[in-house]
Amino acid sequence: MINSLLIFACFLAGLMGSALHLLPELFVRPVFIEVTLFVLLFLVGVGVGGNRHTWELIRQITIRMTLVPILAIVGTLLGVAAVSVLLPGIRLREALAVGSGMGYYSLSSILITELRGETLGVLALLANILREIVTLVSAPLMGRYFGRLGPVLAGGATATDTTLPIIVRCSGPEYAIVAVFSGLVISILVPFLIAALL
């Protein structure tokens, strides 16, 4: 929660600084943003590839577990596609790309901004931050009405870190490995999904 607030505060600081003409032009220069983005993608990869936990987790995977992230992604995309009918200003592919953020708001909003511009990028930032917050706040209700897998699926990419504690509390400790695995797989897939959709 603190992390999402920090990200949002950073976004607001940039917005205010720019709106009040207090920032040097460097921050919005495409070359600067592209180079920083490539550094970020590289570091995300290093984090995933270098995490010993990732490789230990692979040994504990069952076939059923591999279906959990697929279920989360397919369900999200179906839901987003249904809702996009109500949003005539947004194309289906764009709505699906926002949904593919799966709660990974930092990377998804930056990637989408780079591929489709600020409007869709801001939408991705807001929609995915909200996903994390709604999951954190309503995980107990999700567990009660949608089964113990509910909070894991709702958490999306965040199930591996920020929403993991609440998932374990609501779904039980036996869901911890499933949640970490699902969140990790989704986190890896988010950039690929967005790149494929836009």
Partner 1 sequence: MMNLYIVIFLLLGIVVGACCRRLERVQSWAGPLMSGTVLLLVFSLGAAVGANRLVLDNLGRLGAEAVLLCLGGLAGSLWLGRIVGPRLMSNNSRHDQ
CA 189 to chain centre: 10
Q: Which of 1, 58, 169, 172 binds partner 1 (CB under 8 A)?
A: 172
Give the DSSP letter string of 42-94: HHHHHHHHH-HHHHHHHHT--HHHHHHHHHHHHHHHHHHHHHHTT-TTS-HHH
Q: Hey, what's the torsion of the CAs at 194, 27, 127, 94, to 10 degrees?
A: -40
139 binds partner 1 (CB under 8 A): no
Q: Tell whether residue 128 is a contact of partner 1 (CB under 8 A).
A: yes
Binding mask 57-96 for partner 1 (x = CB under 8 A): -------x--xx--xx-xxxxxxx-xxx-xx-xx----x-
Contact 112, 194 (CB under 8 A): yes
Applying CB under 8 A, among 5, 58, 118, 165 the residue interacting with partner 1 is 118
Residue type, position 189, single letter: L
| Candidate residues 113, 160, 162, 163; the one interacting with partner 1 per rule CB under 8 A | 113
Binders of partner 1 among residues 13 to 32 (CB under 8 A) are 13-20, 23, 27-28, 32
**Which of 1, 5, 10, 61 is the binder for partner 1 (CB under 8 A)?**
10
Q: Binders of partner 1: how many residues, by CB under 8 A?
A: 101
